[in-house]
Amino acid sequence: MDTPPSVDKTDQSADPDGLPGRIRPSLAVTRDVALIGAVAIWGLWAGSGFLVPLVVALLLFVLIIAVADRAQELVPMPGWVASLLGAAVVMAGLSLVFYILASQATSFVRVTAGYETEIDDAMHRLAALLGNELAAFLRDTIVEIDMGALARSSFGGVTFLFNSFMLIVLYIGFLLAERLAFRHKIAMAAASPLLGAELTMMTDAISVSLQRYVGVKTFVSAVTAGISYAVFRFLGLEFPETWAVLTFALNFIPSIGSIIAVIFPALVALLQFETLTPFIIIVLGCGTIQFVIGNFVDPAMLGRTLNMSTFMVMVALTFWSTLWGVIGAFLSVPVTVCILIVMSHVPGLRPVAILMSQDGRLESGPPRR
């Protein structure tokens, strides 16, 4: 009686390169994911002129909705009236920012370029406080910086937004017009009612997280900018409105934004005044304000809305800044929060979302089957 041939339950068949058959699918998946990721990153970079105004419009739309909802909580009113009120408040604030920067941009660039001749005197004053060696190091570092180019590049992102202002306004108008119909269209586009419910839950989670993040950051940044403005006015610092606006904007950049918001006016105070007192007041006073608000007030108000690890925040900041420049630094956190929420609703990507989170806990569970 012939014995049946033995069957090797582990597939040891190899391709011409000698790789087991069970490894080939894994390599194919890795290859496909790498290609898709590379194409996606290239698309984000190549399409920045289209994508950046759209993302800015979406965030402003979220802020408008947050203001409108809060207005309805305070005073009962129709939804369309609240939306118009929210749009008016947000656009008025944005117009004020553009007006301040546009009215002072030329003088600011001219004055900062002229500060290069005053560095030596400032370094002599700083040497008395920090010592000759550290002062010499700072002098060599500052001399290598083209203050005029730095000032012009700082306004580059604002100029881009100003040039795209009408497009952003159009985006916001259409988003407001289709706000109520969007949920209904998601349900109709879904292949099944269960999928439609899951997509609606995901969009609601994104909307709630973004509204809370953008609303809290706007309020906290405005308070920080207001206190800093009072300090700048008290000291007689040149262009206090500009520094207050930049303080407001830079607080949206995680970690390093608050540091830059103190360094810039402190350096200008060092160059403008003949004593170190204004410099010390800005470093200690504004630095303390930034530290307290950034480490205590901000986290207490945000709660678990920003549930990303500190490492992922820095990775997101580096990634989006590389792709979209200064504007990418401002958009890095909200865009990454959206990506994390989407991943938390996809079973295959949920482990990645857990690794990106701060404590491994996600607001939403995996989609139900």
Q: Are 184 and 124 in contact (CB under 8 A)?
A: no
**What letter represents residue 222's amino acid?**
A
Q: What is the pLDDT of residue 108?
A: 66
Average pLDDT for 328-346: 84
Q: What is the pLDDT of residue 367?
A: 40
Q: What is the pLDDT of residue 304?
A: 57
Q: What is the pLDDT of residue 107?
A: 66
- Per residue in 14-58, pLDDT (tens digit) is 555 554 555 555 677 677 778 888 898 999 898 888 888 899 898
Which is more confidently placed, 116 or 209? 209
Look at residue 232 and tell me whether its pLDDT is greater than 90. Answer: yes
- Per residue in 136-161, pLDDT (tens digit) is 666 565 555 555 555 555 555 556 66
Look at residue 12 and tell me whether its pLDDT is greater than 50. Answer: no
Q: Which of 59-63, 297-301, 336-340, 365-369 has the lowest mean pLDDT?
A: 365-369
Which is more confidently placed, 348 or 322? 322
Q: Which residue range is the domain that position 271 belongs to? A: 30-356
Residue for token pair 């504007």: 327
Does any domain span residue 19? no
Q: What is the pLDDT of residue 369?
A: 38
Which is more confidently placed, 124 or 17? 124
pLDDT, mean over the chain: 77
Does any domain span residue 285? yes
Contacts of 271 (CB under 8 A, 6+ apart): 115, 118, 119, 122
Does any domain span residue 249? yes
Query: Mapping DSSP to helix (H, G, I), strand (E, B) and coil, where does residue 10 land?
Result: coil
Look at residue 305 and tell me whether its pLDDT is greater than 90. Answer: no
- Per residue in 59-111, pLDDT (tens digit) is 889 889 888 888 888 888 888 888 889 889 988 888 888 777 777 666 666 66
Q: Are 285 and 231 in contact (CB under 8 A)?
A: yes
What percentage of the chain has pLDDT greater than the value 70? 72
Does any domain span residue 23? no
Q: What is the pLDDT of residue 26?
A: 64
Contacts of 319 (CB under 8 A, 6+ apart): 332
Look at residue 162 and tell me whether its pLDDT is greater than 90. Answer: no
Does any domain span residue 14? no
- Per residue in 311-333, pLDDT (tens digit) is 888 888 899 989 988 888 888 88
Highest mean pLDDT (candidates 176-190, 208-222, 345-359): 208-222
Contacts of 207 (CB under 8 A, 6+ apart): 62, 65
Q: How far apart are CA 177 and CA 173, in angstroms?
A: 6
Structure tokens at 294: 């950034």
Q: Which of 216, 176, 211, 209 is nearest to 87 (CA)?
A: 176
Does any domain span residue 271? yes
Confidence of residue 112 (pLDDT cuts 50, 70, 90): low
Average pLDDT for 286-307: 78
Structure tokens at 167: 């497009």
Count of domains in the chain?
Answer: 1
Does any domain span residue 18? no
Does any domain span residue 233? yes
